[in-house]
Chains A and B, each alone.
Chain A
Amino acid sequence: MSTDPIIRVENVSFAYQLNQDQQVPVLQNVSLEVFPGEYVAIIGHNGSGKSTLSKHLNGILTPKEGDVFVNGINTRDKARIHEVRSRVGMVFQHPDNQIVATIVEDDVAFGLENIGTAEEEMKERIDFALEAVGMSAFRHRPPHHLSGGQKQRIAIAGILAMKPQCLVLDEATSMLDSYGRQDILAVVRKLHSEGMTIVTVTHHMSEVAEADRVIVMEGGKIVLQGTPREVFSHQERLQELHLDVPDASRVAALVHTEYPAFSPDLIHNEEVVAEVNRVYGRRAEASGS
């Protein structure tokens, strides 16, 4: 059924073991569901547990308490971990540290080799994945001559080749320059429009504004949740959590204090432009008559 979640996180707690009797709790009783086709952004400042949460989504970490299910498969089930990881793919922060091969094509093949894809099918899937991220022309190149954004696109291709249903981006754009980031966002946007479920962990609020749902983490708990518009309307709460809001939201809120007619609930730059036109247009009309 389409309403079944792809990922179900149930009362998950996790702690890093410091030594024999000291633990650092990272996640406390987190529950969360991700549905097919959704675009979810997880935000929170450093140490809020957002990255740890994302590493639970495909069984890289298994919870101390509680369970994570991917398509109904418990991530603790070591025998089916292949199924979990090929359904929920993960892209990490450092573009350099996720590429294993000396040639782009080989790197994309790596995951396929691991899940035992037949040789005849591999080529087709590699073609598809490189095409999807726009890197087909680079297939025979060594990865170290590529830019950060290109490397990250290769990392995404390596995941896509495994035909996942969900892509988790664990701060995948944080090491990139703004061109690289735009590249990755364009790829992610395209994948999402084609039906891919996206979970992104990020610092960049402009990326958050594109999501369907935003989850705000603090101290290992989910403290706020909702559409970007709902979440960014709690500007003071976010400030307490040392989180930014998109520039558009801040501008809108500031203008709103001067001109109450100007809507404060804006998150995209284009919306600000439209709102300025609307308010300005009305004032012009009022003064004209």
Chain B
Amino acid sequence: MSAEFELTRNITIGQYLPTGSVVHRLDPRFKLAAFVVMILAIAICNTYVGNLFALAVCIWMFSVSKIPLHYGISGIKPAVPFIIILAIMQLLFYGEIANGGTIYLKYGFITISSESIRLVVVSAMRFVDVIFLSSVLTLSTSTTELTHGMERLLGPLEKVKFPVHAFALIITIAIRFVPTFAMEMEKMMKAQASRGADFGTGEWWRIVRRTKDMFPIIIPLFNVALARAEDLILAMEARCYVPGASRTRFAHYKASSKDYLALLFSIVISVIMLGIPF
């Protein structure tokens, strides 16, 4: 019973796995940019060999960042039904559109050609590539670094009045308060349980009942969240925060040659991937 309420002990935000590899030590701005380049290349590339090559690179990246491959594979598992459904849909309904190559089967509206098969296989591979890539990224970069990197990369959008700082601040504060609210929730669950409340004992299919069980937690949690928000606003104002005002940024990172190399590497990989003719 007690283990149910230990929310704070095993809280993980994101899924950072600190192994201290080269990939981990990359400047997050460059790392993020390199990943964006590679994901774009994967999205464009529609050849078998190109995608196989991408897959090989992804697997190689796991070993470089010293992250066991099963972390990536466990990321694919939940996506498998989705990939299969998508593949079936594409196979059945996309024949008309991707109708080049040899036609193997034509039955009513269903057309299966070498082109439509290629589309199906390549889409499935793209999924796997993207999941592998984003796993490497999130496993090798802490959420804080990710926000820093994102804020810097989105920086130019300030020119078109997109509130990048505010956006990054919102994410940072959200991450910052996850453990606080987990602790708060733990306290409330214990308090309610000690007064006879009952959590999670209903069968899983009785969704309404299980949702109702959570009300005595969720409502006070909202209440507390609002009170905390008010305090936080005061503290932020006391430290001269003015929404939308121009601010400077604390510089965390200094790009070194290895960061440029990583970006260059991602570009080279992308060019190779797109250059492969099959």
Contacts and interface: CB of A to CB of B under 8 A. Distances in A.
> Are chains A and B native binding partners rather than an unrelated pairing?
yes
B179 A97 contact: no
Contacts of A126: 250
B176 interface: yes
Contacts of A89: 238-239
Interface of A, secondary structure class, is helix
A91 to B, nearest CB: 8
Interface stretch (A7-15, A102-110, A225-233, A281-289): A102-110
Contacts of A111: 239-240
A131 B94 CA distance: 65
Given A82-B240, A96-B228, A103-B144, A112 B250 contact: yes
Contact of A122 (B176, B180, B240, B251): B251
B123 to A, nearest CB: 36
Interface in A79-100: 81-82, 85-86, 89-90, 92-94, 96-100
B173 interface: yes
Contacts, number: 99
B11 to A, nearest CB: 9
Contacts of A110: 236, 239, 241
Contact of B232 (A100, A115, A143): A100
A48 to B, nearest CB: 19
A117 interface: yes
A144 interface: yes
Interface string B209-252: 00000000000000000001001101111111110011111110
B250 A97 contact: no
B239 A92 contact: no
Most interface-central of B173, B179, B236, B239 (chain A CB within 10 A): B239
A205 B238 CA distance: 26
B228 A119 contact: no
B166 interface: no
Given A85-B238, A162-B240, A122 B172 contact: no
A129 to B, nearest CB: 12
Nearest to A158: B239
B17 interface: no
B175 interface: yes
Contacts of A19: none
Nearest to B11: A144
Contact of B249 (A58, A115, A119, A143): A119
Contact of A100 (B236, B247, B251): B236
Interface in A50-66: 55, 58, 60
A138 to B, nearest CB: 15
Q: Which 3 A-B pairs have the closest CB atoms?
A: A98-B235, A97-B231, A109-B250
Interface of A: 55, 58, 60, 81-82, 85-86, 89-90, 92-94, 96-103, 105-106, 109-119, 122-123, 126, 142-144, 155, 158-159, 162
Given A85-B238, A100-B169, A102-B144, 13 more contacts: A60-B237, A89-B239, A100-B172, A100-B173, A102-B147, A102-B175, A109-B250, A113-B247, A114-B242, A119-B250, A122-B250, A122-B251, A144-B176
